[in-house]
Structure 1
Amino acid sequence: MALHFSDDEFADRLARLTAAMKEEKLDALLLFAQESMYWLTGYDTFGYCFFQTLVVKADGSMVLLTRSADLRQARHTSNIERIEIWVDRVNADPTMDLKTLLSEMDLLGCRIGVEYDTHGMTGRTARLLDSQLSSFGKLVDASMLVGRLRLIKSPAEIAHVERAAALADDALDAAIPLIGPGAGEAAILAAMQGAIFAGGGDYPANEFIIGSGADALLCRYKAGRRSLDAEDQLTLEWAGVSAHYHAAMMRTVVIGPPTNRHRELYSACRETIQAVEKVLRPGNTFGTVFDVHARIMDDRGLARHRLNACGYSLGARFSPSWMEQQMFHLGNPQEILPDMSLFVHMIIMDSDTGTAMSLGQTYLTTESAPRPLSRYGLDFIEI
């Protein structure tokens, strides 16, 4: 088996999960999120784009139901002992196989949690599952159960987060010498991703974001490349990745003389992120972080140009997104606790003047002040 964590680490995670299940009075849990399966067992695949589920009983026993293509993958990358295969065929309904399996596991009439809110659960799968199991037992939406446990990182996880952060810095090291008039976005992007691979890192759970000129106001990846002008702006959002653990960064780099608006927006970003650092600690909530962000931005007249979230929890994630469930947005009651890895970003998109500015990095929370994981500071980057 190729596992990234020790047997004791996995045993502790299973114990935490079964304890949480008992608190929720769950007899079993159907995991559909690949992150949950990876965290609990080490199972590593992209086969979650098809139907598969890991059944976890309250006594700690587990069975994976998956396709034949992932049988050896599961054996090689996880500690799962029992693996059942559903057969690909015309009009296949693997929820029928699941129902049979649950019956064999003596779960008829039991209270069963389901991870509905995940990319590993399509709408079709949810409808088939509900149809098959609605009369079999009591189905409960348990989408957040494992996610809440994964918020707190163990020392072994923190080691991967720190390695990911170093790789993110390496990517920026590789990019900066290439940025300038006439530089191609393709070369910059290749250098950044190449630095992470060369350092032993992994693919990110979503594409790196790169955009210059008008595209610098975007915070999503899009196809197409351009070369930088003598006076330009370049927005980059990327993540170092180690064993699927992510540490994200974000910067808008100005090529040529910065405009007054660039300076003004950078000042707002820096003031806000430094204010957030003062509340990114136990005793506050994710909603508190957003409130600080919104207040400062709005006081500066930037309400129309900011976003409705300013970051999120990071961890081991799979495509199509490296964002975890818990985000810094209005009213989020999730408490900030020590040993969380949290990405804070300030993104301003001034469409009126065509000016972009962003500033973001990953922090590890402690008992007091958060620890930034990047060796880069928050300084303005101009070429």
Structure 2
Amino acid sequence: MCPPTAGRTSPRTKSRSHSQKGITLSTIDPTLEAFIKAEKERLRHDRFELPFSRAEYQQRQANIRARMEQAGIDLLMVSSPEAIAWLTGHALRWNKGQSPTAWAGTQTLAIRVDNDTPILFETAEHELMIVTRSCIDDYRLSADESLNGTLDNMFAELKAEGWLRGSVGVERWSYVPNRAVGSVIEERLTGAGCRVVDASLLVRAARRIKSPQELAYIERAAGICDAGLTALEAAIAPGVTELELWVEMMRGMVAAGGEPAALHETVAIGPNDLGHAFAGRRALQPGDYVWADPCGVFNHYHANIATTWYLGDPPPEALRLADIQAGAYDVLADVARDGIAVRDVNHALLDYYTQAGVWGLHGWTGGYELGLSFPPDWVGEFVFSLDDPDVDGVFEAGMVTNYESIVNYGMIDTIVYGTDSSRCLSTRPHRLNVVNV
């Protein structure tokens, strides 16, 4: 549990005048005003149990500062929702990435390389969220939610702290702030005499190796995902629609302790090529393939497991293909581990598919990083693909990716890389599932 935070609101507060544009408003009822004030005060003391200890958040902040020092960055402006949450616990479902122009998404966690206490710049509407659901010790709020209002407040505070100097890192690959807002922020930084650099990879790299507690949450997420797939399987029958199957999958995941994912967890009838479609109203018929591509989620940590079902008696070729796809997970578990080059793992898998006679018939085959994610995406920075095998980099203990073994059918599992081997998190068998009709 984190101690109470301290912050202040910009003096540019909204007026409490009882007249607006010539319209006279009624006098505020003192009884109701006192009631609301008491309710808010009660909420301020209703502390939310954060997913990690204060010590772990502080360790992450120290990790970031060490990376900043190595990169020659004096001030880091962290803006991606995932990174802010990873560093402080502050997590919002609305981050203003596609907001009205009147409500600019400017929330920023400012980290100085030589200061142990970062400053969160936010709008006043989120004060209770900051106080009760984060480990933030210093926050500065703007009551004015416009672009100029929030930035005037931010830059005045940074100037007063003496932080507007040297090299400043921003996250250009984050969707927050959007392009319009980000360009104004960079113009103001440059105008203050700072040198602006892109620090997106620095921030993302800091999150790549998962702590034991993070791994525990991802393992819990995998169990949640399995529960959803099992619930979906029980509902498969002719005439059932993709959306009806999606509902049963979501019901199963929520019952197992799950929560909303950063992407739509699709259920699709037809070939794997439709995997990026939304679940719709198409109804299952005998002879259909249907596949689901969800993430189970626990404390915003994601585990991706996808599987395919066939309604009726499947062609023998389909079963053979699925067995080949499944065999790749044994190869991955045997070869991929701490210190092994990504190119070596890629070539081991490439040799396996080639010898099985399916290379060239495949879809996208490879993996991407998983972890803490918010909408609109759960796909992390680290990616490996068998179509581009000769890449630099090594696998490290504590990394987590999915692995998509896709030739004709959706088959995905979440992989945890360890010191001596890697392991799949799903307890469901890798196969083409058959539903008798």
Report the TM-score, using the length of structure 2 for normalisation. Answer: 0.80
Name the CA distance, whole Å, in 2 between partners of 1:271 and 1:71: 51
SS in 1 for 2:368: strand
- 1:235-266 CA distances to partner (integer Å, 9 max, x unpaired)? 21111111001111011211112224423432
CA apart distance, 1:209: 1.7
Tell me which amino acid in the other structure corresponds to 2:431: D
Match of 1:197 in 2: 254
Match of 2:70 in 1: 23
CA apart distance, 1:380: 2.9
- 1:201-227 CA distances to partner (integer Å, 9 max, x unpaired)? 21011110211035x432214252211
Matches within 5 A, 1:60-71: 60-71=116-127
Tell me: CA distance 1:370–1:82, structure 2 relative to 1, closer, same or farther (3 Å): same
Name the CA distance, whole Å, in 2 between partners of 1:118 and 1:6: 26
Name the CA distance, whole Å, in 1 between partners of 2:419 and 2:147: 54
CA apart distance, 1:367: 0.6
Match of 2:293 in 1: 237
CA apart distance, 1:85: 2.4
Tell which deviates more after alignment, 179-188 or 363-372: 179-188
CA contact (8 A) 1:29 1:56 kept: yes
CA contact (8 A) 2:246 2:279 kept: no
- 1:30-78 CA distances to partner (integer Å, 9 max, x unpaired)? 1011111111110110232222111011122211112233222222211
Tell which deviates more after alignment, 95-104 or 371-380: 95-104
Tell me: CA distance 1:198–1:380, structure 2 relative to 1, closer, same or farther (3 Å): same
Which consecutive residues of structure 1, in runs of 5 or more, have no partner in the other structure? 349-355
Detail structure 1 runs of 4+ shifted over 6 Å in the superposition. none
Name the CA distance, whole Å, in 2 between partners of 1:236 and 1:32: 32
User: 2:111 matched to 1:56?
Assistant: yes
Identity between Structure 1 and Structure 2 (%):
25
Which consecutive residues of structure 2, in runs of 5 or more, have no partner in the other structure? 1-46, 97-104
Match of 1:352 in 2: none
- 1:149-170 CA distances to partner (integer Å, 9 max, x unpaired)? 2111111112211111111111
Matches within 5 A, 1:80-229: 80-88=136-144, 92=148, 94-136=150-192, 137-213=194-270, 216-222=272-278, 224-229=280-285
CA apart distance, 1:182: 2.5
CA contact (8 A) 2:300 2:372 kept: yes
What is the number of residues matched between the two proteins?
Answer: 374
CA apart distance, 1:184: 2.5
Tell me which amino acid in the other structure corresponds to 1:51: T
Match of 2:432 in 1: 380
CA contact (8 A) 2:120 2:140 kept: yes
Tell me: CA distance 1:315–1:61, structure 2 relative to 1, closer, same or farther (3 Å): same
CA apart distance, 1:304: 5.8
Match of 1:275 in 2: 331
Report which of the two structures shows the higher radius of gyration computed on alpha carbons. Answer: 2
